[in-house]
Amino acid sequence: MNTTIDRVSPEAAVLALDGELDASNFRELIATGTGLYADGVRRLVLELSDLAYMSSSGIVALHSLALIFRGQQPPDPEAGWAAIHAVSADTAEGTRADQVRLVAPTAAVESVLERTGLGRILPVFGDRDAALAG
Amino acid sequence: MTSPATLRIEADVDRLKDVRQFVREIAPTLGADEVAVRDLVQAVDEWVTNVVVHGYRGAGGPIEIELLRAGDEIVARVRDAAPAFDPATAPAFDPDLPLDQRPAGRMGIHLIRELCDRFEHRVPAGGGNETAIVRSTTRIPSRTGGNG
Protein backbone atom coordinates (compact mmCIF):
# COMPACT_ATOMS: atom_id res chain seq x y z
CA MET A 1 0.00 0.00 0.00
CA ASN A 2 1.24 3.47 -0.86
CA THR A 3 0.39 6.37 1.40
CA THR A 4 0.51 10.00 0.27
CA ILE A 5 0.40 12.75 2.87
CA ASP A 6 -1.02 16.17 1.99
CA ARG A 7 -0.60 18.55 4.91
CA VAL A 8 -3.26 21.05 3.92
CA SER A 9 -2.87 23.17 7.07
CA PRO A 10 -1.12 22.98 10.45
CA GLU A 11 -4.20 21.28 11.89
CA ALA A 12 -5.35 19.15 8.97
CA ALA A 13 -3.89 16.44 6.76
CA VAL A 14 -5.18 14.23 3.98
CA LEU A 15 -3.81 10.70 3.78
CA ALA A 16 -4.46 9.05 0.43
CA LEU A 17 -4.27 5.25 0.63
CA ASP A 18 -3.52 3.35 -2.57
CA GLY A 19 -3.50 -0.45 -2.71
CA GLU A 20 -4.53 -2.97 -0.07
CA LEU A 21 -4.67 -2.52 3.70
CA ASP A 22 -4.19 -5.76 5.62
CA ALA A 23 -2.39 -7.37 8.56
CA SER A 24 0.99 -6.76 6.89
CA ASN A 25 0.76 -2.98 6.83
CA PHE A 26 -1.96 -1.70 9.19
CA ARG A 27 0.60 -0.76 11.85
CA GLU A 28 2.31 1.57 9.37
CA LEU A 29 -0.96 3.45 8.96
CA ILE A 30 -1.33 3.78 12.74
CA ALA A 31 2.28 5.00 12.98
CA THR A 32 1.78 7.58 10.21
CA GLY A 33 -1.39 8.92 11.81
CA THR A 34 0.20 8.97 15.26
CA GLY A 35 3.11 11.00 13.87
CA LEU A 36 0.75 13.53 12.33
CA TYR A 37 -1.18 13.87 15.58
CA ALA A 38 2.08 14.43 17.46
CA ASP A 39 2.92 17.13 14.90
CA GLY A 40 -0.27 19.03 15.64
CA VAL A 41 -2.78 17.60 13.16
CA ARG A 42 -6.23 17.43 14.68
CA ARG A 43 -8.26 16.54 11.62
CA LEU A 44 -7.26 13.52 9.56
CA VAL A 45 -8.95 12.88 6.24
CA LEU A 46 -8.42 9.40 4.80
CA GLU A 47 -8.87 9.36 1.03
CA LEU A 48 -9.98 5.80 0.22
CA SER A 49 -10.95 5.93 -3.46
CA ASP A 50 -7.81 4.01 -4.50
CA LEU A 51 -7.91 1.53 -1.62
CA ALA A 52 -8.98 -1.68 -3.34
CA TYR A 53 -9.14 -3.88 -0.26
CA MET A 54 -9.29 -3.59 3.51
CA SER A 55 -9.30 -6.45 5.98
CA SER A 56 -10.37 -6.30 9.62
CA SER A 57 -6.76 -5.30 10.38
CA GLY A 58 -7.53 -2.05 8.59
CA ILE A 59 -10.57 -1.62 10.80
CA VAL A 60 -8.25 -1.98 13.81
CA ALA A 61 -6.08 0.79 12.33
CA LEU A 62 -9.05 3.13 11.78
CA HIS A 63 -10.33 2.36 15.27
CA SER A 64 -6.91 3.18 16.72
CA LEU A 65 -6.61 6.44 14.77
CA ALA A 66 -10.10 7.53 15.82
CA LEU A 67 -9.10 7.10 19.47
CA ILE A 68 -5.70 8.79 19.00
CA PHE A 69 -7.27 11.82 17.33
CA ARG A 70 -9.72 12.07 20.18
CA GLY A 71 -6.72 12.27 22.50
CA GLN A 72 -7.22 8.78 23.89
CA GLN A 73 -4.98 5.79 24.23
CA PRO A 74 -5.31 3.47 21.24
CA PRO A 75 -5.83 -0.25 21.71
CA ASP A 76 -2.58 -2.18 21.69
CA PRO A 77 -2.48 -4.04 18.36
CA GLU A 78 -0.18 -6.67 19.86
CA ALA A 79 -2.06 -7.55 23.02
CA GLY A 80 -5.24 -6.09 21.70
CA TRP A 81 -5.97 -8.55 18.97
CA ALA A 82 -7.16 -11.07 21.48
CA ALA A 83 -7.70 -8.89 24.49
CA ILE A 84 -10.93 -7.41 25.58
CA HIS A 85 -10.25 -3.84 26.55
CA ALA A 86 -12.08 -2.81 29.64
CA VAL A 87 -12.95 0.79 28.96
CA SER A 88 -15.02 3.32 30.78
CA ALA A 89 -18.35 3.90 29.20
CA ASP A 90 -18.59 7.51 28.12
CA THR A 91 -21.41 6.81 25.79
CA ALA A 92 -22.18 10.42 24.92
CA GLU A 93 -18.68 11.05 23.59
CA GLY A 94 -18.06 7.42 22.84
CA THR A 95 -20.42 7.29 19.93
CA ARG A 96 -18.94 10.22 18.04
CA ALA A 97 -15.56 10.48 16.39
CA ASP A 98 -15.40 13.18 13.75
CA GLN A 99 -11.70 14.06 13.92
CA VAL A 100 -10.99 11.19 11.52
CA ARG A 101 -13.00 11.36 8.31
CA LEU A 102 -13.29 8.94 5.43
CA VAL A 103 -13.61 9.89 1.77
CA ALA A 104 -15.05 7.88 -1.12
CA PRO A 105 -14.53 4.25 -0.06
CA THR A 106 -14.70 1.66 -2.82
CA ALA A 107 -17.58 -0.83 -2.70
CA ALA A 108 -15.36 -3.51 -1.17
CA VAL A 109 -14.12 -1.19 1.59
CA GLU A 110 -17.57 0.26 2.21
CA SER A 111 -18.89 -3.26 2.75
CA VAL A 112 -16.27 -3.89 5.47
CA LEU A 113 -16.99 -0.55 7.13
CA GLU A 114 -20.68 -1.38 7.18
CA ARG A 115 -20.35 -4.95 8.42
CA THR A 116 -18.06 -3.93 11.28
CA GLY A 117 -20.17 -0.92 12.24
CA LEU A 118 -17.27 1.52 11.80
CA GLY A 119 -19.03 3.24 8.92
CA ARG A 120 -21.63 4.37 11.46
CA ILE A 121 -18.96 5.78 13.79
CA LEU A 122 -16.59 7.57 11.41
CA PRO A 123 -18.20 10.10 9.07
CA VAL A 124 -17.94 9.31 5.36
CA PHE A 125 -17.79 12.08 2.73
CA GLY A 126 -18.05 12.05 -1.04
CA ASP A 127 -14.92 14.12 -1.64
CA ARG A 128 -11.98 15.51 0.30
CA ASP A 129 -13.07 19.14 0.17
CA ALA A 130 -16.34 18.27 1.88
CA ALA A 131 -14.44 16.23 4.47
CA LEU A 132 -12.05 19.11 5.19
CA ALA A 133 -14.83 21.68 5.34
CA GLY A 134 -17.50 19.77 7.21
CA MET B 1 -16.79 -31.87 -7.49
CA THR B 2 -13.71 -30.46 -9.20
CA SER B 3 -10.19 -31.34 -8.22
CA PRO B 4 -8.92 -28.60 -5.95
CA ALA B 5 -6.46 -25.85 -6.75
CA THR B 6 -3.90 -25.59 -3.97
CA LEU B 7 -1.66 -22.86 -2.57
CA ARG B 8 0.92 -23.68 0.10
CA ILE B 9 2.57 -20.88 2.04
CA GLU B 10 4.67 -20.32 5.11
CA ALA B 11 2.62 -18.45 7.71
CA ASP B 12 3.57 -14.80 7.31
CA VAL B 13 1.41 -11.70 6.98
CA ASP B 14 3.50 -10.71 3.96
CA ARG B 15 2.03 -13.71 2.09
CA LEU B 16 -1.58 -12.53 2.54
CA LYS B 17 -1.48 -10.69 -0.78
CA ASP B 18 -0.57 -13.97 -2.48
CA VAL B 19 -3.48 -15.70 -0.75
CA ARG B 20 -5.89 -13.04 -2.01
CA GLN B 21 -4.44 -13.23 -5.50
CA PHE B 22 -4.87 -17.02 -5.49
CA VAL B 23 -8.56 -16.72 -4.56
CA ARG B 24 -9.11 -13.89 -7.07
CA GLU B 25 -7.64 -16.00 -9.85
CA ILE B 26 -9.20 -19.37 -9.07
CA ALA B 27 -12.68 -18.57 -7.72
CA PRO B 28 -14.00 -17.09 -11.02
CA THR B 29 -12.85 -20.21 -12.88
CA LEU B 30 -15.02 -22.24 -10.48
CA GLY B 31 -18.08 -20.17 -11.33
CA ALA B 32 -18.08 -17.62 -8.52
CA ASP B 33 -19.66 -14.31 -9.50
CA GLU B 34 -18.07 -10.95 -8.72
CA VAL B 35 -19.61 -10.54 -5.27
CA ALA B 36 -18.88 -14.16 -4.35
CA VAL B 37 -15.23 -13.69 -5.35
CA ARG B 38 -15.00 -10.54 -3.26
CA ASP B 39 -16.57 -12.27 -0.24
CA LEU B 40 -14.33 -15.32 -0.59
CA VAL B 41 -11.18 -13.20 -0.93
CA GLN B 42 -12.05 -11.38 2.29
CA ALA B 43 -13.17 -14.48 4.22
CA VAL B 44 -10.05 -16.49 3.31
CA ASP B 45 -7.77 -13.51 4.04
CA GLU B 46 -9.40 -13.03 7.45
CA TRP B 47 -9.02 -16.70 8.37
CA VAL B 48 -5.42 -17.02 7.16
CA THR B 49 -4.61 -13.82 9.08
CA ASN B 50 -6.10 -15.46 12.15
CA VAL B 51 -3.96 -18.57 11.66
CA VAL B 52 -0.76 -16.52 11.18
CA VAL B 53 -1.35 -14.09 14.06
CA HIS B 54 -3.17 -16.24 16.62
CA GLY B 55 -2.66 -19.84 15.53
CA TYR B 56 1.09 -19.71 14.99
CA ARG B 57 1.48 -16.50 17.07
CA GLY B 58 3.80 -15.09 14.45
CA ALA B 59 6.22 -17.99 14.78
CA GLY B 60 5.54 -19.39 11.30
CA GLY B 61 4.40 -22.78 10.09
CA PRO B 62 2.75 -24.33 7.06
CA ILE B 63 -0.63 -23.24 5.68
CA GLU B 64 -2.38 -24.93 2.78
CA ILE B 65 -5.34 -23.38 1.00
CA GLU B 66 -7.53 -25.41 -1.35
CA LEU B 67 -10.30 -24.11 -3.54
CA LEU B 68 -12.84 -26.35 -5.18
CA ARG B 69 -16.38 -26.36 -6.39
CA ALA B 70 -18.98 -28.69 -4.88
CA GLY B 71 -22.46 -28.42 -6.38
CA ASP B 72 -23.35 -24.74 -6.53
CA GLU B 73 -20.88 -23.82 -3.83
CA ILE B 74 -17.20 -22.87 -3.58
CA VAL B 75 -15.30 -24.53 -0.76
CA ALA B 76 -12.12 -22.87 0.55
CA ARG B 77 -10.35 -25.37 2.78
CA VAL B 78 -7.52 -24.12 4.97
CA ARG B 79 -5.18 -26.51 6.78
CA ASP B 80 -2.56 -25.60 9.35
CA ALA B 81 -0.44 -27.26 12.01
CA ALA B 82 -1.13 -24.71 14.74
CA PRO B 83 -2.76 -25.61 18.06
CA ALA B 84 -6.39 -26.60 17.64
CA PHE B 85 -8.78 -23.65 17.65
CA ASP B 86 -12.45 -23.93 16.80
CA PRO B 87 -13.65 -20.51 15.55
CA ALA B 88 -17.15 -21.42 16.73
CA THR B 89 -15.86 -20.84 20.27
CA ALA B 90 -14.83 -17.23 19.49
CA PRO B 91 -16.99 -14.66 21.27
CA ALA B 92 -19.50 -12.78 19.17
CA PHE B 93 -18.63 -9.28 17.97
CA ASP B 94 -21.22 -6.54 18.24
CA PRO B 95 -20.84 -4.05 15.36
CA ASP B 96 -23.13 -1.60 17.15
CA LEU B 97 -20.73 -0.96 20.03
CA PRO B 98 -19.48 2.63 20.35
CA LEU B 99 -15.82 3.36 19.73
CA ASP B 100 -14.75 3.29 23.36
CA GLN B 101 -16.31 -0.08 24.04
CA ARG B 102 -15.16 -2.00 21.01
CA PRO B 103 -12.56 -4.71 21.38
CA ALA B 104 -9.46 -4.14 19.25
CA GLY B 105 -9.91 -7.38 17.35
CA ARG B 106 -12.48 -10.13 16.96
CA MET B 107 -13.82 -8.74 13.73
CA GLY B 108 -12.23 -11.26 11.38
CA ILE B 109 -14.34 -14.23 12.44
CA HIS B 110 -17.40 -11.99 12.55
CA LEU B 111 -16.75 -11.00 8.93
CA ILE B 112 -16.24 -14.61 7.82
CA ARG B 113 -19.58 -15.59 9.38
CA GLU B 114 -21.23 -12.72 7.52
CA LEU B 115 -19.58 -13.38 4.17
CA CYS B 116 -20.05 -17.13 3.77
CA ASP B 117 -22.84 -19.66 4.05
CA ARG B 118 -21.01 -22.09 6.32
CA PHE B 119 -17.80 -21.96 8.33
CA GLU B 120 -16.77 -25.40 9.52
CA HIS B 121 -13.84 -26.61 11.60
CA ARG B 122 -12.37 -29.96 12.46
CA VAL B 123 -9.18 -31.26 13.99
CA PRO B 124 -7.58 -33.79 11.62
CA ALA B 125 -6.20 -37.06 12.99
CA GLY B 126 -2.65 -35.68 12.82
CA GLY B 127 -3.52 -32.49 14.71
CA GLY B 128 -3.69 -28.88 13.58
CA ASN B 129 -6.82 -27.42 12.05
CA GLU B 130 -8.88 -27.83 8.92
CA THR B 131 -11.52 -25.22 8.26
CA ALA B 132 -13.94 -24.98 5.39
CA ILE B 133 -15.29 -21.63 4.24
CA VAL B 134 -18.28 -22.41 2.03
CA ARG B 135 -20.10 -19.91 -0.11
CA SER B 136 -22.66 -20.10 -2.88
CA THR B 137 -21.25 -19.23 -6.30
CA THR B 138 -23.93 -16.62 -6.84
CA ARG B 139 -26.44 -16.32 -4.02
CA ILE B 140 -25.90 -13.79 -1.23
CA PRO B 141 -25.47 -15.73 2.05
CA SER B 142 -28.46 -15.65 4.36
CA ARG B 143 -27.70 -13.78 7.54
CA THR B 144 -28.12 -16.02 10.53
CA GLY B 145 -26.09 -14.15 13.10
CA GLY B 146 -28.82 -11.67 13.92
CA ASN B 147 -26.44 -8.72 13.85
CA GLY B 148 -25.61 -8.35 10.19
Residue A80 has pLDDT above 60, yes or no: no
pLDDT confidence of B93, banded at 50, 70, 90?
confident
Q: Do B45 and A55 touch (CB under 8 A)?
A: yes
The shortest CB-CB distance from A94 to any of B98, B103, B110 is to B98
User: If phi over 0 gives left and psi between -120 and 50 gives alpha, with beta otherwise, what is residue A115?
Assistant: alpha
Mean pLDDT for A80-100 is: 46
Q: Which pLDDT score is estimated for B142? A: 65
More confident of the two residues A35 and B2: A35
Q: Which pLDDT score is estimated for B71? A: 96
What is the pairing mode between strands B62-70 and B5-10?
Answer: antiparallel
pLDDT confidence of B95, banded at 50, 70, 90?
confident
pLDDT confidence of A94, banded at 50, 70, 90?
very low
The pLDDT tens digits for A61-78 are: 999 999 999 888 766 655
Q: Which pLDDT score is estimated for A134? A: 72
Give the residue from chain B lying closest to A54, CA to CA.
B42
Q: How many CB atoms lie within 10 A of CB B81?
A: 17
The pLDDT tens digits for B31-70 are: 999 999 999 999 999 999 999 999 999 899 999 999 999 9
CA triplet A51, A103, A19: central angle to 5 degrees?
A: 10
pLDDT confidence of A81, banded at 50, 70, 90?
very low
Q: Which pLDDT score is estimated for B51? A: 96
From the CA of A73, how many Å to the nearest CA of chain B?
10
Secondary structure class of A101 (helix, strand, coil): strand
- Exposed/middle/buried for residue A10 (C-beta within 10 Å: 0-12, 13-18, 19+): exposed
CATH fold of A2-133 = Transcription Regulator spoIIAA (3.30.750)
Q: Which pLDDT score is estimated for B1? A: 63
From the CA of B6, how many Å to the nearest CA of chain A?
22
Q: Which pLDDT score is estimated for A97? A: 65
The shortest CB-CB distance from A23 to any of B13, B102, B103 is to B13
**Any idea where the domains of chain B sit in the sequence?**
5-136
Q: Which CATH class is domain B5-136?
A: alpha beta
From the CA of A10, how many Å to the nearest CA of chain B?
26
Pick among A116, A118, A121 to test the B interface (most B CBs inside 10 A): A116
Range in A87-96, A107-116, B92-101 the model is least confident about: A87-96
DSSP annotation of B72:
T
* Strand order across the A12-21 sheet: A2-6, A12-21, A43-54, A100-103, A124-125
